Structure 1
Amino acid sequence: MRLASYNEIVKMMHTYQSRDCLPIIAEKFPGVSLNALGSIFSQDYQKKMRKTHYLHYSPEASTGYYKRFAEALARGERNILIGMSHELDLSPALLGRIILERHLSVTKYEGETPPKTIVTSCMKEPSLIEDPRLAIEIHQCVLCDDHYGPLCDSIKHSIGHEYEFKLNHILDRLGLAYIGEDQMRTKGYDKTPDVKLEVPIAVDGHIVNWIESKASFGDEHSHQGYLKEQFWSYWNRFGPGMVIYWFGFIDELDVNQDKGIILRDHFPEHIVKMDPSVK
Structure 2
Amino acid sequence: MLSRETYAELLSALSVPSGSFVDLKAIERKFPEIKLETLISIYSSESQIKVIKSNHIHRGNLHEYCSRYLAGEDILQICASVDFPPCMMMRRFLEHLFKVNKQLVGDMLKDPTVLYKATVVDSDILTATIKERLRHDIMRCVRSDPCYSPLSDLAKQAAGLEHEMLLEKSLTSLGVSFWTEADLRAQGFFKTPDIWLKVPISVFDPSEGVWKIVSWIDSKATFGDDRIHAKQMEDQYNTYVNRYGSGLVIYWFGCLTGLGRANANVMVLDSFPDSSAVLALPRKIF
TM above 0.5, yes or no, is yes
Q: 1:236 to 1:149 in 2, by over 3 A?
A: farther
> Partner of 2:271: helix, strand, or coil?
coil
Q: 1:277 to 1:57 in 2, by over 3 A?
A: same
Aligned-pair distance for 1:278?
A: 4.8
> Partner of 1:86: helix, strand, or coil?
helix
CA contact (8 A) 1:206 1:257 kept: no
Name the CA distance, whole Å, in 1 between partners of 2:112 and 2:177: 44
CA contact (8 A) 1:219 1:249 kept: yes
Give 2:207's aligned residue: none
Aligned counterpart for 2:252 among listed residues 246, 249, 254:
246
Name the CA distance, whole Å, in 2 between partners of 1:135 and 1:26: 33
Paired residue type of 2:219: S
> Partner of 1:36: helix, strand, or coil?
helix
Q: 1:81 to 1:30 in 2, by over 3 A?
A: closer
Name the CA distance, whole Å, in 1 between partners of 2:285 and 2:83: 60
Aligned-pair distance for 1:46?
A: 2.2
Give 1:81's aligned residue: 75
Paired residue type of 1:8: E
**Does 1:267 pair with 2:272?**
yes
> Partner of 2:148: helix, strand, or coil?
coil
Name the CA distance, whole Å, in 2 between partners of 1:28 and 1:87: 27
Identity %: 33
Matches within 5 A, 1:177-188: 177-188=177-188
Give 1:119's aligned residue: 105
CA contact (8 A) 2:85 2:148 kept: yes
> Partner of 1:230: helix, strand, or coil?
helix
Matches within 5 A, 1:149-164: 149-164=149-164
CA contact (8 A) 2:16 2:22 kept: no
Name the CA distance, whole Å, in 2 between partners of 1:277 and 1:223: 34
Q: 1:187 to 1:219 in 2, by over 3 A?
A: same
**Does 1:224 pair with 2:230?**
yes
Aligned-pair distance for 1:219?
A: 1.1
Q: 1:70 to 1:18 in 2, by over 3 A?
A: closer
Unaligned runs of 5+ in 2: 118-130, 205-210
CA contact (8 A) 1:256 1:262 kept: no
Matches within 5 A, 1:89-168: 89-105=83-99, 114-130=100-116, 132-133=131-132, 134-168=134-168
Give the TM-score of the pair, scaled to structure 2: 0.82
CA contact (8 A) 1:129 1:135 kept: yes
Cα root mean square deviation, aligned: 2.3
Give 2:123's aligned residue: none
1:213-250 Cα deviation digits (max 9, x unpaired): 11111011211111111111111211111000111111
**How many matched pairs?**
261
CA contact (8 A) 1:244 1:265 kept: yes
Q: 1:225 to 1:127 in 2, by over 3 A?
A: farther
Give the TM-score of the pair, scaled to structure 1: 0.84
Unaligned runs of 5+ in 1: 106-113
Name the CA distance, whole Å, in 1 between partners of 2:34 and 2:139: 34
Name the CA distance, whole Å, in 1 between partners of 2:163 and 2:81: 36
CA contact (8 A) 1:208 1:240 kept: yes
